[in-house]
Amino acid sequence: MGTDAAALAAMGHKVVAVEPVDEFRAAGGKLHPASRIEWLDDSLPDLSVLRAMTRRFDLTMLTAVWMHLDEEERRRAMPNVARLLSDGALLMMSLRHGPIPDGRRTFDVSAEETIQLANLHGLQPIFIVRSESVQRSNRRMNVTWTRLVFAKGAGSL
């Protein structure tokens, strides 16, 4: 929890870490108490708290998140995420593929669907890579990941 946020903060960046689960947000803040990390209680697809702040970001990361949204939630989420990006900003995403773990709310989502949805909102893919999981137990279950990076074109939205 908060590993990406902590790494970016350690490089001197100001980070807004969005986490809807109280326990995870508290644990992330305790593990990574950097003053450059602002922990925010908000969630996809609406991101209503973050959008109300009218901030724009140069980088947004959705790490192992997108596949927890169903198709309708993904359609609602993409324009909200795109509106948070400054012109020229990057959106980085990772998509998990493979068997759904017991007790988890996860949906099958393809890179192709995600790219089409992003294109509708002014985001162009600049990096796409598919790889096996780094976790041995996931590799045995044939879990793979797709990592996507999109750039927001100037004048989009």
Please give the Cα distance from 85 to 152 (Å, whole number): 7
- Whether 60 and 91 map to the same domain: the answer is yes
Cα–Cα distances (Å) from 37 to 19, 33, 95, in that order, read 12, 7, 24
**Residue 121 sits in which domain range?**
56-152
Q: What is the pLDDT of residue 138?
A: 65
- Parallel, antiparallel, or unpaired: how do β-strands 37-40 and 144-152 relate? unpaired
* pTM exceeding 0.75: yes
Query: Is 15's pLDDT higher than 50?
Result: yes
Please give the average per-residue pLDDT across 103-113, as a whole number: 89
Helix H or strand E segment including 77: helix 71-83
CATH of the domain at 119: 3.40.50.150
- Band (pLDDT 50/70/90 cuts) for residue 157 is very low
Q: How many domains does the chain have?
A: 2
The pLDDT mean for the chain works out to 89
Task: Centre a 10 Å sphere on the Cβ of residue 96 and count the other Cβ atoms it contains.
Answer: 22
- What is the distance between the alpha carbons of residues 71 and 77, in angstroms, rounded to a whole number? 10
